[in-house]
Amino acid sequence: MGSAPERIQKVLARAGVASRRAVEEMVAEGRITVNGQPARLGQRVDPDHDSVAVDGALVGLRADLVYYLLNKPPGAVTTASDPQGRPTVVQMVPEEPRVFPVGRLDADSEGLLLLTNDGELTHRLTHPSFGVDKEYLAHVEGRPSRGALRRLREGVELDDGAARAMAVSLLEPSVVRIVVHEGRNRLVRRMCEAVGHPVLRLVRTRIGPLADRSLAPGEWRELSQTEVRALERTGTATDSEFGGDGT
């Protein structure tokens, strides 16, 4: 059996969107929709079946939804199980409720990875019609020239089409900060190799609004409600892509 319908202001207040009074004001302003239609004051919604959006961003309402931010160490694979017996990211977070990684990082890459059981959010963050910044620090061979950085910014031709970085900067002689929207397989590695600087180490440092320098490799934490809401607002349609791993 699902949960009983409750007044929308109570459901959204519990989800951390705003206070009940503030939710009532947002409903009156037409900022909230239920199943695609403008919400009504006092309207009841079923968290298990109704889709509620605030300013166009869907809000996860179920009480059993969890969101983990993991600092993936090198060597771990972004799957639920591995026939080769390698450690998986799913083994590094609580076993229940069962969660899945949003996108992926290849085994050699490391850094931030989101895991959740929120299928709606996962879909929005991985579907090609949505775009979320993913920032990496790439330790590369050699010292990239200004020309190489410009090529990354303007676009390089890969075997599956052109790709470009949204932002590129040289932090140290062999450390490149690179931001991408797309999620093609091993994208950052292939882009750097295309300009003559193969990646020696790749660390994802940010996923949209999510960043945390305090997490040690293999450590995880739950997202705050504020961070979840920020992710939901980030997952709005753009002309860019987010999915896969980009690594």
* 68/163 Cα distance (integer angstroms): 30
Given a cut of 60, whether residue 242 has pLDDT beyond it is no
Using the predicted structure, report yes or no on whether residue 241 has a pLDDT greater than 70. Answer: no
Please report, rounded to a whole number, the percentage of residues in the chain having pLDDT higher than 90: 56
118 is catalytic: no
Q: Which residues does 143 contact at the CB level (< 8 Å), separation at least 6?
A: 173, 174
CA distances in angstroms from 77 to 103, 218, 247, listed in the order given: 12, 12, 13
Both tokens assigned to 238 = 């753009």
Rounded percentage of the chain residues whose pLDDT exceeds 70: 91
Chain segment 64-119, per-residue pLDDT in tens: 889 999 999 999 999 878 888 899 999 999 998 889 998 889 999 999 999 998 88
Q: What is the DSSP string of 88-102?
A: BSGGGS-SSS--EES
User: Using CA atoms, how far apart are residues 15 and 225, in angstroms rounded to an integer?
Assistant: 7
Mean per-residue pLDDT of the chain = 87
Q: Residue 159 pLDDT more than 80?
A: yes
Burial 71-85 (b: 16+ CB within 10 A, else e): bbeeebbbeeeeeee
Q: Give the helix ranges, DSSP H, for the chain.
A: 8-14, 20-28, 119-126, 146-154, 187-194, 225-234
Separation CA 180–CA 160 (nearest Å): 16
pLDDT band per the 50, 70, 90 thresholds, residue 38:
very high
What is the per-residue pLDDT for 244? Answer: 47
- Say which residues have a Cβ less than 8 Å from residue 91's Cβ, sequence separation at least 6: none
- 2: tokens are 């699902």
Q: Which of 208, 149, 142 is closest to 180 using CA atoms?
A: 208
Find, among 169, 187, 166, the residue nearest to 244 by Cα: 187
The structure's pTM equals 0.78
Who has greater pLDDT, 174 or 247? 174
Q: Which of 106, 118, 133, 160 is catalytic?
A: 106
Q: What is residue 22's three-state secondary structure? A: helix
Nearby residues of 165 by Cβ (< 8 Å), 6 or more positions away: 152, 153, 178, 179, 180, 191
Packing angle of the helix pair 146-154, 187-194 (nearest 10 deg): 130
